[in-house]
Amino acid sequence: MQTARTLFFTAPAQIEIRETTLPPLKEDEVLVETICSAISAGTEMLVYRGQFPHLVDSHDAVSSELNYPLAYGYACVGRVKRLGKEVNRDWEDKLVFAFQPHTSAFNVQPSALIPIPDSLSPENACFLPNMETAVNLVQDGAPVLGERVLVLGQGVVGLLTAALLSEFPLESLITVDQFELRRKALQVEGQKRSPEYVEGLKIKSLLIQDLRPFDKIQGKPSTFDLVFELSGSPSALNDAIALTSFSGRIVIGSWYGQKRAEIDLGGSFHRSRIKMISSQVSTISPELSGRWDKARRFKVAWEALKRIQPEQWITHRFSLDKAEQAYQLLDKNPQETIQVVFGY
């Protein structure tokens, strides 16, 4: 019998690795043995800290009805090791991606798997969910030739979003993060204009007068045509509002969970005609859904992964046995991390 070791969140700041016996393989299933899985430092830390809302209908299967004990995660790469009798033999030994929790092995129908292009390593493939999110964010923001763009937050999703935006002919692209490691992570080669970095800022107390690079683009505080709020801090919405120009757009990609902050809508926002866009990867914008589906978006995400090679941003690798150390590191010393990955 095949066994699996799976990570469970059992209470705030508590995890367990449980060994279970997988059920017999069904005729329409395959057995996948995991190679690596990536921790989502945003979403999973809400689960780890007990800050997630109890969503009944989130339009997202991995985020609905969250309760402890909980096996959670959605960036799993593995290899197909066994096939059910009804499964096409082409799946044998295939390198695949699955939206699975952190687990060493699992049975699944092939329809739930995404074959990984031969040109990508398993660790690069672990970034697929975040790259799909970044593609969705950029599509929702719809940057225009010559625009001034700001990205608040340079975690993995922020870095991937900024990397995609750096491929556009923008007037300026500025990124902000409170951690030096993340501010300096994105290096754009072969571009006429690299992103400018705002140094020494903490998003929770962002002060407009501290934005020194503004003089490079002859801007006022309300300079940016398009702002992406990807910091995970709801208070950053006030900064986004203050930094967005008249009739500009703010794309909100952060999931704040149960975190709350006072948002100032009584000042300049009232007359600004700023458009605030809620962006979440589980659906496609109605403006695009007539021409785009998940398969097309995944294709774009795979090609972007080939260009960007985000495994360069993996700062830590842990075995599943060391999972408690991994989450403690993300919780207590996030300034030392970008992407944390489990190996199996």
Q: What is the C-alpha separation between 316 and 242, in angstroms, rounded?
A: 36
Mean pLDDT is lowest, of 153-162, 229-238, 257-266, for 257-266
* Cβ contact 27:37 at 8 Å: no
Mean pLDDT is lowest, of 54-68, 72-86, 286-300, for 54-68
Radius of gyration, alpha carbons of the chain: 21
**Domain range 3-116+309-343, CATH class:** alpha beta
Mean pLDDT is lowest, of 11-15, 33-37, 113-117, 214-218, for 214-218
Nearest to 30 by CA among 74, 96, 75: 96
Residue 218: predicted pLDDT: 37
**69 prior amide bond cis, ω within 30:** yes
Q: Does residue 193 carry a pLDDT above 80? A: no
Domain chopping of the chain, boundaries: 3-116+309-343, 129-278
2-23 average pLDDT score: 95
pLDDT in tens, 13-68: 999 999 999 999 999 999 999 999 999 998 899 899 988 765 444 334 444 457 88
Residues composing the chain: 344
Nearest to 331 by CA among 9, 75, 41, 38: 41
Q: What is the C-alpha separation between 31 and 1, in angstroms, rounded?
A: 12
- Say what the pTM is: 0.88
CATH code of the domain made up of 129-278: 3.40.50.720
Domains 3-116+309-343 and 129-278 share a fold: no
Which amino acid is located at 258 in the chain?
Answer: Q
**221 prior amide bond cis, ω within 30:** no
Q: Residue 219, SS3?
A: coil
Tokens of 263: 């948002």
Residue 1: predicted pLDDT: 80
Residue 56: predicted pLDDT: 41
